[in-house]
Structure 1
Amino acid sequence: MASRQSGPGVDETSGLGSLPEPTAYAETAGHTRPSADSPATKRTPEDPPLRNPALYAQTDHFRERLHQQGRYVSVPIVSEAITDGQIRWNTTDGWRFALLKDGIRYVVVVSDTETHSPVVVTGWTEVDDWETAIDSDRWHDTDVHTIKLRADLSDNHDAQIPDLIRPRIVSRPFDIGDHRVTTEAGNGSVGCVDCGGRFRSKAELARRHCRS
């Protein structure tokens, strides 16, 4: 079961403090005839997710990601993805919203069958079109390289991937596990700016604590 922080809908959240039960959900949960904007009393995994951001609370996992450098996921983006993004089903994570902006895809995973109210479980970014993203005014080159590097490390969690790390140029540290890492073109590993450790896989980053 997903750990959750109850709260106002994601589009109403102005800060990162503790959150009460979503008002919109509390008002609609008792309806006997669910509409497109009101959750049914008993929803199943086959039911498409609701399009109203005001109904969604946030899991602890998602809230942690809001703090992390290099995630590029925000409350307004999540609200827009829920309202306007494509709905997709994934056999591992369940329902997702996908929102494409200037070559970068935002992915937002939601759930409403294992919690008392709909929740935003997690979110991330991935490169959909490299050239479009690089040429866009929205994204700095470092942003695009960071998104690609993070995705490659996550997609190959246990494998060492020096060949995928070498093309990346990331001068601004981003968070993975306990570490804040960067890399330069030609390097086959990422380096932690705090402890000086060098890593070639996400598994290594997860195993070793930063000794800064």
Structure 2
Amino acid sequence: MASRQGGPGNTESPRPGSTERRTASTTAPAGARRRTPQRTDSLPHRPDSPRAQAPGVDRPTGRTAEDPPVRDPVRYALTDHFRERLEQPGRYVSTRAVSDAIRRGQLRWNRTDGWRFALVDGGVRFVVVVGDTETNSPVVVTGWTEVADREAALETPRWDPVDIDTIAVRTALSESSSTPIPDRIRPRTVTRPFVVGDHRLETAPGEPFVRCTTCGCRFRSKDAITERGCRGGQTGR
């Protein structure tokens, strides 16, 4: 569902993916009769439900898929799908990056549905996918990073070579999830595990695969990673 907490906002959260809940006072004057709030949504709670709405956000009226999305990050709610990705090591997406992309990013129609904002900062492209035609408020659907300029990224203090190789490997795995990509993995060094599916993955120079640091399984494509659960401490291929 779209989280009922606030949108990306203007500042970085102390914990990735967390936002400050906006609340209203519930204290009533003495003698006042307490009113029971009426239920406005008859659907049961479901993850990523299109009926969810962030508090204080007006319902869009008459919007179509061709209408460009709003540029105010405060109006966006965060889906559970996106919040899970904020928690994942090696994804390099933050609420601040989302806000910057919505405000200043280049706007493109997304390949599947909705719109995407893309902003290059320090040699890395931050991509944020949003939607607002099937929800009661604008929502951030998902987000990821891509290496736009490797040399420029390595010249900034924000990134180190492991960060850039992690982004490159994750991008390569996602671009064609069913295709093995040993040649694109082989040159990379990823010593800080990143998460895909149930697995925490790393790779060393010359290895044509990524390896799960927990179960030891080796993978050459994203589908192979997501279709196999992690077996804990058991060693496998």
Shorter-normalised TM range:
0.7 to 0.9
Give the alignment partner of residue 114 of structure 1, picking from 128, 134, 148: 134
Q: Whose helix proportion is higher, 1 or 2?
A: 1
CA distance in 2, matches of 1:49, 1:191: 39
* 2:185 aligned with 1:165: yes
Residue in structure 1 matched with residue 41 of structure 2 by the alignment: none
Unaligned runs of 5+ in 2: 23-52, 233-237
Q: Whose strand proportion is higher, 1 or 2?
A: 1
Residue in structure 2 matched with residue 142 of structure 1 by the alignment: 162
Residue in structure 2 matched with residue 4 of structure 1 by the alignment: 2
Write the deviation string for residues 51-78 of structure 1: whole angstroms up to 9, x where unpaired.
1111100111100001000110011110
Give the alignment partner of residue 47 of structure 1, picking from 67, 70, 82: 67
Following TM superposition, where does structure 1 have runs of at least 4 consecutive aligned residues deviating by more than 4 angstroms?
A: 12-15, 17-21
Residues 1:129 and 1:12: Cα distance change in structure 2 (over 3 Å): closer
Residues 1:78 and 1:17: Cα distance change in structure 2 (over 3 Å): closer
Q: How many residues align?
A: 198
Give the alignment partner of residue 60 of structure 1, picking from 74, 80, 83: 80
CA RMSD of aligned residues (A): 1.8
AA aligned opposite 1:125:
T
Structure whose CA Rg is larger: 2
Write the deviation string for residues 158-181 of structure 1: whole angstroms up to 9, x where unpaired.
011111110110000000100000
**Alignment identity in percent?**
54
Give the alignment partner of residue 22 of structure 1, picking from 41, 47, 54: 54
- Asked if 2 retains the 8 angstrom alpha-carbon contact of 1:98 and 1:106, the reply is yes
CA distance in 2, matches of 1:156, 1:84: 29
- Asked if 2 retains the 8 angstrom alpha-carbon contact of 1:9 and 1:24, the reply is no
Cα offset, 1:18, TM superposition: 9.3
AA aligned opposite 1:177:
G
Unaligned runs of 5+ in 1: 30-39
Give the alignment partner of residue 194 of structure 1, picking from 186, 193, 214: 214
Question: 3-state DSSP class of the match of 2:9?
Answer: helix
Cα offset, 1:135, TM superposition: 2.1
AA aligned opposite 2:228:
R
Cα offset, 1:5, TM superposition: 1.7
TM superposition score normalised by structure 1: 0.87
CA distance in 2, matches of 1:167, 1:156: 18
Residues 1:144 and 1:161: Cα distance change in structure 2 (over 3 Å): same
